[in-house]
């Protein structure tokens, strides 16, 4: 069993338009709507890889109800979302069909009251201590009202329960979370630069690890992943550049890392899986889903190289 936490869950809406032009009105040719927010995307990919996943975080209002109704139809995913009085946010991805470029609009999310946060913490404590809990992923932005040190708190609880924990967030929640010593942190290049002040990925990844994370896996877009761990350092690169919608590609990378962790795979295999899933998500027509045939094709061809100076 793997637990994913999405404190700021979302109903993800994807609009496809023939070509996106500023200041113009557009005819939408295709609309898809599905449960989103980073931890829910991670859960969907984990479930497709054959893992049982429990999802928690907050859901509320009509959008929260719609999200939960859809989630109930997804196999291998157990809904443990906590209630919030405000409405779950929507996010909108507008995909330009001509170029594949995507414009993403994310609402801030519902305000979480102190009593709602306290009730969530109680249920999280119970979830991480369940028998067979193999790993926890803490993903995405914080909704208003949730303390900025929330992830640090959740990391400390998971570590006290001896459950490996992965963090994927940005800004101050990332900074505080890293200091709470998560097992893995997965920033993208911008998040890493904001955390460390360095735009040089090699240096920034090592710096992020010195700040407390046991392993840092930086996602570098089309250039793949850069990992610095206690067991060594690696670069993992996709065999070819893929074009498409990158929304959710980072979430699929997290699912690859987490499934590999839960299955006790060595780091190079985890990284290869993460890179192949990420690229297979870019080519999938719906944001946040991956193309299974592309994944199978890319997986054996991901180049993972060790680095001379490891951790
Ligand atoms: O990574 C894609 C995605 O998970 C979308 O599904 C969307 O819901 C968004 O990110 C949420 O990100 P945020 O950082 O606002 O929590």
- Ligand 1, residues 41, 90, 151: which to mutate, most atoms within 8 A of Cβ? 41
Enclosing domain of residue 54 = 2-306
How many structural domains compose the chain? 1
| Most informative mutation of 8, 11, 37 for ligand 1 (most atoms within 8 A of CB) | 37
Asked if residue 9 belongs to a domain, the reply is yes
CB 255 within 8 A of CB 219: no
According to the 3-state scheme, what is the secondary structure of the chain? CEEEEECCCEEEEEEEECCCCCCCCCCCCEEEEEEECHHHHHHHHHHHCCCCEEEEEEECHHHHHHHHHHHCCCCCEEECCEECCCCCEEEEEEEECCCCCEEEEECCCCCCCHHHHHHHHHHHHHHHCCCCCCEEEEECCCCCCCCCCHHHHHHHHHHHCCCCEEEECCHHHHHHHHHCCCCEECCEHHHHHHHHCCCCHHHHHHHHHHCCCCEEEEECHHHCEEEEECCEEEEEECCCCCCCCCCCHHHHHHHHHHHHHHCCCCHHHHHHHHHHHHHHHHCCCCCCCCCHHHHHHHHHHCEEEECCCCC
Mean pLDDT of 135-142: 98
Give residue ranges with CB within 6 A of ligand 1: 8, 10, 12, 36-38, 41, 91, 106, 140-141, 247-248, 250-251, 288
What pLDDT, on the 0 to 100 scale, is given for residue 214?
97
Confidence of residue 100 (pLDDT cuts 50, 70, 90): confident
**Interatomic CA distance for residues 145 and 269, integer angstroms:** 39
pLDDT at 308: 44
Does 245 fall in a domain?
yes
pLDDT above 90 covers what percent of the chain? 91
For the CA atoms of 2, 174, 176, 5, the dihedral, rounded to the nearest 10 degrees, stands at: -30
Q: Is residue 311 part of a domain?
A: no
The yes-or-no verdict on residue 309 having pLDDT over 70 is no
Distance 205 CA to ligand 1 centre (A): 23
**Domain presence at residue 141:** yes
Six token digits for residue 251: 């979430």
On whether residue 165 sits in a domain, the answer given is yes
Q: Which atom of ligand 1 is nearest to the CA of 109?
A: 15
Q: Does residue 119 form part of some domain? A: yes
| pLDDT > 90? residue 24 | yes
Q: Please identify, by atom number, the ligand 1 atom nearest to the C-alpha of residue 249.
A: 1
- pLDDT for res 287: 66
Predicted local confidence at residue 243, as pLDDT: 84
Average pLDDT, integer, range 11-21: 94
pLDDT of residue 99: 86
Residue 143, in any domain of the structure: yes
Catalytic residues: 251
- Can you give the pLDDT at residue 289? 85
Question: 210-228: per-residue pLDDT in tens?
Answer: 999 999 999 999 999 999 9
- pLDDT (average), residues 55-66: 98
The CATH number assigned to the domain holding 8 equals 3.40.1190.20
Ligand 1 atom closest to residue 139's alpha carbon, by position in its atom list: 16
Q: How confident is the model at residue 246 (pLDDT cuts 50, 70, 90)?
A: confident
Please tell me the distance from the alpha carbon of residue 76 to that of residue 80, in angstroms, as a whole number.
Answer: 13
Residue nearest to atom 15 of ligand 1 (CA): 141
Cα 159 to the chain's mean position, in Å? 20
């Amino acid at each position: 069993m793997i637990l994913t936490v999405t404190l700021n869950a979302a109903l993800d809406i994807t609009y496809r338009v023939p070509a996106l032009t500023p200041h113009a009105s557009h005819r939408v040719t295709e609309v898809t709507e599905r449960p989103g927010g980073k931890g829910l995307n991670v859960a969907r990919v984990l479930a497709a890889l054959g893992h049982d996943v429990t999802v928690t975080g907050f859901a509320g209002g009509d959008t929260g109800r719609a999200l939960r109704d859809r989630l109930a139809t997804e196999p291998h995913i157990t809904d443990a979302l906590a209630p919030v009085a405000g409405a779950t946010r929507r996010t909108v991805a507008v995909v330009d069909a001509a170029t594949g470029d995507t414009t993403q609009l994310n609402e801030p999310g519902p305000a979480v009251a102190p009593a709602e946060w306290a009730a969530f913490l109680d249920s999280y404590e119970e979830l991480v201590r369940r028998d067979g809990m193999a790993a926890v992923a803490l993903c995405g932005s914080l909704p208003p009202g949730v303390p900025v040190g929330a992830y640090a708190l959740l990391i400390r609880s998971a570590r006290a329960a001896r459950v490996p924990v992965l963090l994927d967030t940005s800004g101050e929640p990332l900074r505080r979370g890293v200091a709470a010593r998560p097992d893995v942190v997965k920033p993208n290049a911008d998040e890493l630069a904001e955390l460390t002040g360095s735009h040089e990925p090699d240096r920034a990844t090592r710096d992020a690890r010195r700040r407390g994370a046991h392993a840092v896996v930086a996602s570098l877009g089309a250039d793949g992943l850069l990992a610095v761990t206690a067991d060594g350092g690696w670069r993992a690169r996709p065999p070819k550049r893929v074009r498409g919608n990158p929304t959710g590609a980072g979430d699929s990378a997290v699912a690859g890392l987490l499934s590999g962790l839960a299955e006790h795979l060595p780091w190079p295999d985890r990284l290869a899986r993460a890179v192949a899933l990420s690229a297979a998500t870019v080519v999938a027509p719906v944001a946040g889903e991956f193309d299974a045939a592309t994944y199978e094709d890319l997986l054996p061809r991901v180049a993972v190289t060790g680095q001379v100076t490891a951790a």
